Amino acid sequence: MLDTAKTRGRAPSRAKGGLFFLLGPAFVAAIAYVDPGNVAANLTSGASYGYLLVWVLVAANLMAMLVQYQSAKLGVVTGKSLPELLGERFSTPARRLYWVQAEIVAMATDLAEVVGGAIALNLLFHVPLPVGGLIVGVASMALLTVQNRRGQRHFESLIIVLLVIITVGFLAGLVLSPPSPAGILSGLVPRFEGSDSILLAAGMLGATVMPHAIYLHSQLSRDRHTDARSTPQSLARIIKATRWDVVVALLLAGAVNIGMLLLAASTLGGVAGTDSIEGAHAAIVNSLGPVIGVVFAVGLLASGLASTSVGAYAGASIMNGLLKVRFPLLARRMVSLIPALILLGAGVDPTWALIASQIVLSFGIPFALIPLLRLTASKSLMGVHRDGVALRLAALVSVALIVALNAVLLWLTFSGRA
């Protein structure tokens, strides 16, 4: 279970060390931004529309930097996670309803991550998808055991290693198939091409700005930097380190996401059957060779293992903060694995399940962002570290854009035009 006391005791902020020793929580949160749902959405975008939606990923990554920094700062300054602060402010019925939507988001996240890992095992070893999903679930339990027994710092180190593997796996193909500079520049101009591209953009946004990572990051930073509030100088230094932590981690995650779209645009455009991860992988192997295909599949596997572990961690944090219920982390991992295994066993198209899960996530974003914006702008809660005018304005614009895109997505979906 999420033992805060133990985590705090084992993960000191090392206030007297260099800034390097203060990095880490954002890298755990960043795993959510390179999960298998991103792979499906980004490959589909590049294969179907070329460089058209590069701007969506750039904008989404900037939004992600903004909100993850706000979440981390909230945890460091207040000593409480976002779910805990919301749990204190909501009435009991509202708290339960809010938890339901957050839990749906967490379940959609876990579905994408387990399915993605199962696809990777199938590509590498021809393991049946249901068996692969079970293997991914068991392996993620082993990763979570590290967090339970060795503390947050060791868990962060493992996640960072997996993030490096993910980066190499998803970007290696660009060495052999570099993207078009002119295409990249054209993709930075905001535009759509029909309702299907809007639907896909919403899925990409849902895959890039992750609600469960917003909830979790406040706890990760709070637990890591337990002595942050010992003096005003210490708190200011930790906030500065947190800013660098977020920028470096999210730049890396953003590069991976954009790199996947560019690889698909340069390699998969016009190739039949690339509307699934399996088809895209086959096209990559055909175009760039089996070695790149294996490296890509290994990156996908690392993505599934790391992100499903972080997703289970986030789900437990949400439940504990909102409902004050401490559900054992490994038991939660077992329960949340069931929906993914049912879908895999039923033969549902895995790539469709991945993209659908990202659309569900996009609807959960405002429920995380709007309260975060209000809390970090509160002078009574944040004191001198409340968001400045520029930051509040940027956050407000981000929330407005996300809500507007989701409204358009709803209209397209229910009008039958998507």
Q: Where are the domains of the chain?
A: 4-415
Which conformational region is residue 204 in: left (phi greater than 0), alpha (psi within -120 to 50 degrees), or beta?
A: alpha
Question: In 3D, which of 182, 207, 174 has the Cα closest to residue 56?
Answer: 207
Q: CA of 307: how far to CAs of 5, 27, 44, 58, 360, in Å?
A: 24, 11, 20, 21, 17
166 within 8 A of 303, measured Cβ to Cβ: yes
142 SS3 class: helix
320 within 8 A of 78, measured Cβ to Cβ: no
Q: Which two tokens stand for residue 264?
A: 């698909």
Question: d(Cα 2, Cα 222) in Å, to the nearest integer?
Answer: 13
The residue with tokens 């294996």 is 294
Checking if the pLDDT of 1 tops 60, the result is: no
Taking residues 187-201, report their average pLDDT: 89
Taking residues 209-222, report their average pLDDT: 91
Predicted pLDDT of residue 10: 43
Q: What is the pTM of this model?
A: 0.89
Report how far Cα 115 is from the mean position of its chain's Cα atoms.
Answer: 15
Predicted pLDDT of residue 164: 94
Taking residues 387-397, report their average pLDDT: 90
> What would the 3-class secondary structure string for 172-213 be?
CHHHHCCCCHHHHHHHCCCCCCCHHHHHHHHHHHHHHCCHHH
Residue 228 has what DSSP assignment? G
Predicted pLDDT of residue 77: 94
36 within 8 A of 117, measured Cβ to Cβ: yes
**pLDDT tens readout for residues 41-62:** 899 899 999 999 999 999 989 9
Question: d(Cα 303, Cα 352) in Å, to the nearest integer?
Answer: 18
Question: d(Cα 158, Cα 146) in Å, to the nearest integer?
Answer: 9
Predicted pLDDT of residue 119: 95
Predicted pLDDT of residue 225: 83
The alpha carbon dihedral of 146, 149, 150, 155 has a sign of positive
- Nearby residues of 323 by Cβ (< 8 Å), 6 or more positions away: 87, 95, 96, 99
Q: Which of 136-140, 152-156, 294-298, 386-390 has the lowest mean pLDDT?
A: 152-156
Residue 383 has what DSSP assignment? G
147 within 8 A of 329, measured Cβ to Cβ: yes
**Between 313 and 357, the higher pLDDT residue:** 313
What's the whole-number average pLDDT of the chain?
Answer: 87
- Report the residue count for the chain: 418
Question: d(Cα 104, Cα 102) in Å, to the nearest integer?
Answer: 5
**Between 134 and 13, the higher pLDDT residue:** 134
Predicted pLDDT of residue 405: 75
Predicted pLDDT of residue 178: 95
Predicted pLDDT of residue 352: 81
Q: Which two tokens stand for residue 104?
A: 């749906």
Predicted pLDDT of residue 3: 45
Looking at the structure, give the CATH architecture of the domain made up of residues 4-415: Up-down Bundle (1.20)
Angle between helices 54-78 and 211-224 (to 10 degrees): 40
Cα-atom radius of gyration of the chain, to the nearest Å? Answer: 20
